[in-house]
């Protein structure tokens, strides 16, 4: 028995030596298997990333100044998609969330149709939710009201530059079917302007959004109410920020980082 085992061992060793001499190795036999294992690992990683991005959290970049000072151009945010219920891509299905959008929340959402920009009629935006279904809203002299209560902006927003409050636009005409009379605000103006419009009643299943930078924000005054199902998430904090619109340095995303904003909680 011992001699047979030794012969077998010698045979195996000989085969290995022969493989090496012929330019082949025992490892090469498992090459396709290792390749498949690597492919599977990559696919699993990609699948995990897509699940996290679709249902849990996603990055979002601030491209405009409509939410100054809350959000600055060049801020990058992490958006909690689970809070209000994640949207299933390529469908009209929204899964349940653990929270409902409330007045005062900063919200990421898909815009209603913007007829003046057919090249991108439904951009993803971030604004402040200022009214929910059933609320009566209006603005007089630039002061926003909800259900008869004035909603003064915070100190930071009051520092934003003031614009022409009497500015009007044909897009404001969407408001006409939703106007109401007989409220404490009086009748709606004949022509809505940035500072004077409404009262309007927010319909069921709809939300109303405004930018914090009121005179530099294309918001609900222009394109109307946002369907609840268009909501995509709630920004959580700034994870990266650089001076994208005011820097005179080369490569500002590297050389002009706003270090003090990194980690800022969004309120």
Q: Which residues are catalytic?
A: 66, 127
Bridge partner list, 140: 143
SS3 state at 226: strand
CA atoms within 13 A on the CB side of 143: 8
Euclidean distance between CA atoms 221 and 218, whole angstroms: 7
The burial class, CB within 10 Å (0-12 / 13-18 / 19+), for 17 is exposed
Q: Is 66 exposed, middle or buried (0-12, 13-18, 19+ CB in 10 A)?
A: buried
Give CA–CA dist 32/193, Å, rounded. Answer: 68
Contacts of 93 (CB under 8 A, 6+ apart): 87
Whether residue 246 contacts residue 217, with contact meaning beta carbons closer than 8 Å, is answered with no
- CB-count burial class (<10 Å; 0-12, 13-18, 19+) for 138: buried
Q: Are 236 and 60 in contact (CB under 8 A)?
A: no
Burial of 107 (0-12, 13-18, 19+ CB in 10 A): buried
3-state DSSP assignment of residue 209? strand
């Amino acid at each position: 028995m011992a001699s047979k085992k030794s012969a077998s061992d010698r045979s195996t060793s000989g085969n290995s030596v022969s493989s090496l001499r012929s330019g082949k190795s025992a490892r090469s036999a498992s090459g396709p298997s290792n390749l498949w294992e690597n492919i599977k690992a990559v696919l699993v990683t990609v699948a995990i990333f897509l699940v996290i991005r679709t249902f849990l959290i996603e990055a979002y970049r601030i491209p405009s100044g409509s939410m100054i000072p809350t959000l600055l151009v060049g801020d990058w945010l992490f958006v909690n998609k689970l809070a209000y219920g994640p949207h299933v891509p390529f469908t009209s299905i929204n899964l349940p969330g653990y929270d409902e959008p409330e007045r005062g929340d900063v919200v990421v959402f898909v815009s209603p149709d913007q007829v003046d920009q057919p090249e991108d009629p439904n951009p993803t935006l971030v604004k402040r939710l200022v009214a929910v279904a059933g609320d009566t809203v209006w603005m007089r002299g630039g002061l926003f009201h909800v259900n008869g209560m004035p909603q003064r902006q915070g100190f930071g927003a009051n520092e934003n530059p003031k614009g022409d409050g009497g500015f009007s636009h044909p897009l404001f005409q969407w408001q006409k079917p939703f106007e109401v009379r007989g409220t404490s605000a009086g009748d709606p103006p004949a022509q809505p302007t940035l500072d004077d419009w409404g009262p309007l009643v927010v319909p069921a299943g709809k939300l109303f959004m405004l930018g914090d930078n009121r005179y530099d924000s294309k918001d609900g005054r222009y394109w109307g109410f946002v369907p609840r199902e268009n909501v995509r998430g709630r920004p959580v904090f700034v994870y990266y920020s650089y001076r994208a619109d005011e820097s005179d340095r080369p490569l500002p995303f590297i050389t002009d980082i706003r270090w003090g904003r990194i980690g800022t909680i969004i309120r």
